[in-house]
C-alpha cells in the first residue's frame, strides 16, 4: 500500500541472498572435545561403576583369551592334519582322525567361549550404563535449584543419554580389544614359531600398515566427524522447518529457507562423499599389503617347501594367518578414538556427578508432622542468588495458622523468592524461615514437601493420565478423592468432556489442554496433596473471563482451612486475602488489610487506584530487567 515505493527500492537486493537469514540452530552443538585417550582420574571414576561387575569382567576376559587361542589353533590343526596326516610318510588316517577330533574339540570350546565373552560383556556393559545414568539422575534430584536454574535441560539430557551411550561403545569394545591384542601377538608368535625366517619376511608389511594408518587416521577422523556434524546440522534444520512450519508459511519464507536448506544438504552430501573416500581408500592398501605378504609366502615359502626346509602344511597355515592379521590392527587403531570419545564423555558425566548438593537434611533433622500449627514466619530474612546482590533484605512477617496472606509488588520485588524459601529451595543468607515454629533447615525436606503444597505460576503437567497428574506422588489418594478434588476446584466438567475422562492421556506438558485447564489441574493436585500450608504463585497470563471465574472459585476452595501464602496479581485475589504484604526492591514496604493500606495512601493505594487488572504493572518500571535466573 503506502509502503510500496519503499519496497521497490529494496527489491534490487531481494534477488540476492538475504544477508542474515539462517535455517537450523545458530548454536553449535557441544564440540566434541579431543581429550586424552587415557586420564587416570576419569578411569578411576568409571571403574567405580564397573567394579560391581568385576566378576563378569574377569570371566569375559578369560573367555576372550580362550576364544582367541582357539582361533589361533585352527590353522595349526589344519597344518598338523596336512603335514602329519596327509603328507607322504605321515601318520596317515589315524593322525588325520586325531586332528579331526582335535578340531572338533577346539570348535566346541570356541563356541562356548564366544558365547560367554559376548553375552557376559554385553550385559555387564549395559548394566554399567544404566547404573551410571541412574546415579546421575538420582544426583540431579538433590542438587540445588540455583544450579538447575542456570543449566539447560537440553545439555543435561545430552549427558544423560548421549554421553552415557558413547560409554557403551567403549565398555563393549575394550574387553574385545584385549582379544585383538592377544590375537595380534598370538599370530606374530605362531608365525615366528612355525618358521622364524619366513615369519619375519611375511610380517614385514605389518609395520607399513601401522604407519599408513597413523597418517591416515587424523584426517580420516576429521572427515568422519565432519560428516556426522553436517548430518546433524541438516537434520536440525529439518526439525526446525517442521516445528516452525506455521510461522514459515505465514511469513512466506519458504523460498529463502529452501535455498538455505539446500546449501546445508549439499554441504552434508560433500562431507559424506569425502568421508566415504577416506573410509574406502584403506581397502586397496590393505589388499595390496595382503597380496605382497601372500606372494612372499608363495615365492619364499614355496621354495622352502620344494627344498624340504618346511612342510607344506606350514605354508598353508601361513596363508591362513595372513588373511587374518590385518583385522586386529584395523580395530586397534579404531579403538584409540573410542578411548578418546569415552574419556571426554566420562569427563562430562563426572562433572554432573560432582555438582555439589547444597541443601541436605541435617543429620538430626526431624520430620514435620501434621500436628504442627501451620504458621509461617520470616525473621529478618536476607537472601539473594548472586553474591552481594540480595533479593530480599531483612524481611520479617508472620502468617498465622489458617490465615491467607497476599504478597504483592512489582516485578523483581522478591515475591517468588519468598515462596521458594518457605519450601527451602534455597537457604537464606541471614535470618530464618520457620514453618510450624520450626526452622525449615531443621526438618527433613520430604516432610516439608508433604506439609507445604505449592502451586506454581506456570502449571507443569507430566505425560500420563489426568488422574496420575492430580494424584502425583500421593499414592494413597483413591480415585474418589481425586475426583472430589477435581470437583472442588471445578475441573471435573472439562475432565469428563475429554475422550477418556480421568484416564485421558495428556500430551507432553499437557499440550492438549488450555492454560486455564492446566491451572485447574494443578490446583486439584495441590488439593489432593492435602497439606496444612499452601504456597501459590498466581498466574499472570490473561485467561478468558469464564475460566478466570472458575479459577477464582477454586482458589477460595483451596485456601479453606489452610494457611495460605499467595503471590497475587489479581485484584479479586488480593481483596480476598486476610492480609496484604507489599514488597518493593526486596524490602517490606507496607502490610495490612485492604482498607488499612488504602488509608495509608502508599504504593498499594497508588497501584489500586490505577485500576490495572494486574498488580505487576508499575508504570514507572515498565520494562523488565534482563533475566537473572527464573526466580525473581
C-alpha span between 12 and 98 (Å, rounded): 89
Out of 50, 140, 175, 581, the residue judged to bind other proteins by CB under 8 A: 140
C-alpha span between 610 and 614 (Å, rounded): 10
Residue 378 or 615: the one with the smaller Cβ distance to other proteins is 615
C-alpha span between 600 and 68 (Å, rounded): 90
Helix (H) or strand (E) holding 240: helix 205-243
Residue 103 or 336: the one with the smaller Cβ distance to other proteins is 103
Instruction: Say whether residue 197 binds other proteins (CB under 8 A).
Output: no
Q: Give the binding range for other proteins (CB under 8 A) out of 37-45, 155-163, 183-191, 559-567.
A: 155-163
Instruction: Say whether residue 542 binds other proteins (CB under 8 A).
Output: yes
Any idea which residue has 493420565 for its cell?
465
Residue 36 or 55: the one with the smaller Cβ distance to other proteins is 55
Percent of the chain that is helix, strand, coil (3-state, to 5): 60, 10, 25
Residue 423 or 594: the one with the smaller Cβ distance to other proteins is 423
Site string for other proteins, 559-598 (x = CB under 8 A): -----------xxx--------------------------
How many residues bind other proteins (CB under 8 A)? The answer is 171
Out of 127, 174, 400, 628, the residue judged to bind other proteins by CB under 8 A: 127
Pairing status of strand 452-455 against strand 376-386: unpaired
Helices and strands: H and E segment counts in the chain: 24, 12
C-alpha span between 372 and 364 (Å, rounded): 18
Residue 44 or 219: the one with the smaller Cβ distance to other proteins is 219
Residue 29 or 41: the one with the smaller Cβ distance to other proteins is 29
Q: Which residues pair with 381 in a beta bridge?
A: 395
Out of 301, 328, 390, 414, the residue judged to bind other proteins by CB under 8 A: 301
Helix (H) or strand (E) holding 265: helix 254-296
Question: What is the nearest approach in angstroms of other proteins to the Cβ of residue 74?
Answer: 7
Q: Give the binding range for other proteins (CB under 8 A) out of 114-122, 330-338, 586-594, 596-604.
A: 114-122
Q: Give the binding range for other proteins (CB under 8 A) out of 74-82, 179-187, 195-203, 218-226.
A: 74-82
Residues in 310-339 at the binding interface with other proteins, rule: CB under 8 A: 312-313, 315-316, 319-320, 323
Distances (CA, A) of 9 to 14, 87, 578: 10, 95, 63
Q: Give the binding range for other proteins (CB under 8 A) out of 214-222, 250-258, 384-392, 396-404.
A: 250-258
Out of 234, 428, 433, 488, the residue judged to bind other proteins by CB under 8 A: 234
Contacts of 167 (CB under 8 A, 6+ apart): 46, 128, 129, 132, 342, 345, 346, 349
Out of 2, 388, 389, 476, the residue judged to bind other proteins by CB under 8 A: 2
Q: Tell me the three cell numbers of residue 18.
A: 538475504
Q: Give the binding range for other proteins (CB under 8 A) out of 37-45, 57-65, 293-301, 496-504.
A: 293-301
Residue 542 three-state SS:
coil
C-alpha span between 521 and 527 (Å, rounded): 10
Site string for other proteins, 19-48 (x = CB under 8 A): xxxx-xxxx---------------------
Q: Give the binding range for other proteins (CB under 8 A) out of 108-116, 339-347, 560-568, 589-597.
A: 108-116
Residues in 432-471 at the binding interface with other proteins, rule: CB under 8 A: 445-450, 452-454, 456, 460, 462-463
- Between helix 164-194 and helix 93-140 the angle, nearest 10°, is 160
Instruction: Say whether residue 546 binds other proteins (CB under 8 A).
Output: yes
Q: Give the binding range for other proteins (CB under 8 A) out of 195-203, 282-290, 484-492, 589-597.
A: 282-290
Question: What is the nearest approach in angstroms of other proteins to the Cβ of residue 103?
Answer: 5
Residue 248 or 588: the one with the smaller Cβ distance to other proteins is 248
Instruction: Say whether residue 628 binds other proteins (CB under 8 A).
Output: no
User: In 28-163, which ranges are continuous DSSP H helix?
Assistant: 40-50, 54-80, 93-140, 145-149, 153-157
CB atoms within 10 A of CB 358: 13
Instruction: Say whether residue 387 binds other proteins (CB under 8 A).
Output: no
Residue 422 or 588: the one with the smaller Cβ distance to other proteins is 422
Q: Tell me the three cell numbers of residue 632.
A: 525473581
Q: Which residues pair with 453 in a beta bridge?
A: 534
Out of 52, 92, 189, 218, the residue judged to bind other proteins by CB under 8 A: 92
Out of 41, 51, 93, 606, the residue judged to bind other proteins by CB under 8 A: 93
- Whose CA is closest to 193, among 321, 326, 299? 321
Sequence length of the chain is 632
Q: Do 576 and 548 contact (CB within 8 A), yes or no?
A: no
Question: What is the nearest approach in angstroms of other proteins to the Cβ of residue 291?
Answer: 3
Distances (CA, A) of 566 to 440, 457, 525, 569, 589: 19, 11, 17, 9, 17
Q: Give the binding range for other proteins (CB under 8 A) out of 54-62, 262-270, 369-377, 577-585.
A: 262-270
Amino acid at each position: 500500500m503506502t509502503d510500496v515505493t519503499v519496497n521497490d527500492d529494496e527489491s534490487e537486493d531481494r534477488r540476492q541472498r538475504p544477508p542474515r537469514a539462517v535455517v537450523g540452530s545458530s548454536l553449535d552443538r557441544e564440540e566434541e572435545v579431543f581429550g586424552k585417550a587415557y586420564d587416570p582420574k576419569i578411569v578411576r571414576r568409571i571403574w567405580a561403576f564397573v567394579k560391581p561387575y568385576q566378576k563378569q569382567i574377569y570371566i569375559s576376559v578369560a573367555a576372550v583369551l580362550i576364544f582367541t587361542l582357539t582361533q589361533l589353533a585352527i590353522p595349526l590343526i589344519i597344518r598338523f592334519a596336512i603335514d602329519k596326516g596327509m603328507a607322504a610318510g605321515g601318520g596317515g588316517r589315524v593322525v588325520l582322525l586325531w586332528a579331526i577330533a582335535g578340531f572338533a574339540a577346539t570348535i566346541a570350546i570356541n563356541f562356548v567361549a564366544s558365547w560367554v565373552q559376548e553375552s557376559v560383556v554385553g550385559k555387564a556393559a549395559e548394566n554399567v550404563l544404566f547404573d551410571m545414568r541412574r546415579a546421575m539422575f538420582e544426583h540431579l534430584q538433590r542438587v540445588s535449584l540455583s544450579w538447575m536454574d542456570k543449566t539447560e535441560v537440553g545439555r543435561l539430557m545430552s549427558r544423560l543419554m548421549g554421553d552415557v551411550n558413547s560409554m557403551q561403545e567403549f565398555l563393549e569394545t575394550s574387553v574385545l580389544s584385549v582379544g585383538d591384542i592377544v590375537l595380534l601377538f598370538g599370530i606374530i608368535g605362531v608365525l615366528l614359531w612355525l618358521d622364524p625366517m619366513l615369519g619375519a619376511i611375511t610380517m614385514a608389511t605389518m609395520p607399513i600398515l601401522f604407519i599408513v594408518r597413523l597418517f591416515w587416521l587424523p584426517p580420516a577422523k576429521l572427515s568422519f566427524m565432519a560428516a556426522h556434524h553436517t548430518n546433524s546440522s541438516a537434520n536440525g534444520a529439518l526439525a526446525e522447518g517442521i516445528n516452525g512450519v506455521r510461522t514459515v508459511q505465514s511469513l512466506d519464507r519458504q523460498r529463502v529457507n529452501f535455498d538455505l536448506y539446500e546449501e546445508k544438504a549439499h554441504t552434508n552430501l560433500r562431507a559424506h562423499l569425502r568421508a566415504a573416500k577416506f573410509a574406502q581408500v584403506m581397502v586397496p592398501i590393505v589388499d595390496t599389503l595382503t597380496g605382497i605378504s601372500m606372494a612372499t609366502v608363495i615365492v619364499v615359502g614355496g621354495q622352502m617347501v620344494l627344498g624340504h626346509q618346511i612342510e607344506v602344511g606350514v605354508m598353508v597355515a601361513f596363508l591362513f594367518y595372513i588373511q587374518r592379521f590385518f583385522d586386529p590392527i584395523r580395530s586397534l587403531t579404531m579403538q584409540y578414538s573410542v578411548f578418546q570419545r569415552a574419556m571426554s564423555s566420562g569427563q562430562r558425566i563426572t562433572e554432573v556427578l560432582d555438582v555439589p548438593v547444597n541443601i541436605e537434611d541435617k543429620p538430626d533433622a526431624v520430620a514435620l508432622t501434621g500436628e504442627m500449627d501451620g504458621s509461617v514466619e520470616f525473621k529478618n530474612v536476607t537472601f539473594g542468588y548472586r553474591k552481594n546482590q540480595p533479593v530480599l533484605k531483612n524481611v520479617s512477617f508472620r502468617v498465622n495458622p489458617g490465615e491467607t496472606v497476599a504478597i504483592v509488588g512489582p516485578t523483581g520485588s522478591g515475591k517468588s523468592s519468598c515462596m521458594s524459601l518457605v519450601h527451602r529451595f534455597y537457604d537464606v543468607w541471614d535470618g530464618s524461615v520457620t514453618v510450624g515454629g520450626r526452622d525449615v533447615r531443621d526438618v527433613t525436606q520430604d516432610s516439608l514437601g508433604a506439609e507445604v503444597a505449592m502451586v506454581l505460576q506456570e502449571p507443569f503437567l507430566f505425560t500420563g493420565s489426568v488422574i496420575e497428574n492430580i494424584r502425583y506422588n500421593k499414592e494413597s489418594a483413591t480415585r474418589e478423592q481425586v475426583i472430589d478434588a477435581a470437583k472442588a476446584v471445578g475441573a471435573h466438567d472439562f475432565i469428563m468432556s475429554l475422550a477418556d475422562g480421568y484416564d485421558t492421556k495428556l500430551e507432553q506438558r499437557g499440550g492438549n489442554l488450555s492454560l486455564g485447564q492446566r491451572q485447574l489441574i494443578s490446583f486439584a493436585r495441590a488439593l489432593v496433596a492435602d497439606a496444612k500450608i499452601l504456597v501459590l504463585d498466581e498466574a499472570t497470563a490473561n485467561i478468558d473471563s469464564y475460566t478466570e471465574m472458575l479459577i477464582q472459585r477454586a482458589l477460595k476452595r483451596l485456601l479453606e482451612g489452610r494457611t495460605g501464602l499467595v503471590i497475587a496479581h489479581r485484584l479479586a485475589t488480593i481483596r480476598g486475602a486476610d492480609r496484604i504484604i507489599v514488597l518493593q526492591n526486596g524490602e517490606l514496604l507496607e502490610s495490612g488489610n485492604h482498607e488499612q493500606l488504602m488509608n495509608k495512601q502508599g504504593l498499594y493505594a497508588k497501584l489500586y487506584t490505577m485500576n490495572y487488572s494486574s498488580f505487576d504493572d508499575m508504570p514507572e518500571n515498565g520494562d523488565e530487567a534482563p533475566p537473572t535466573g527464573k526466580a525473581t
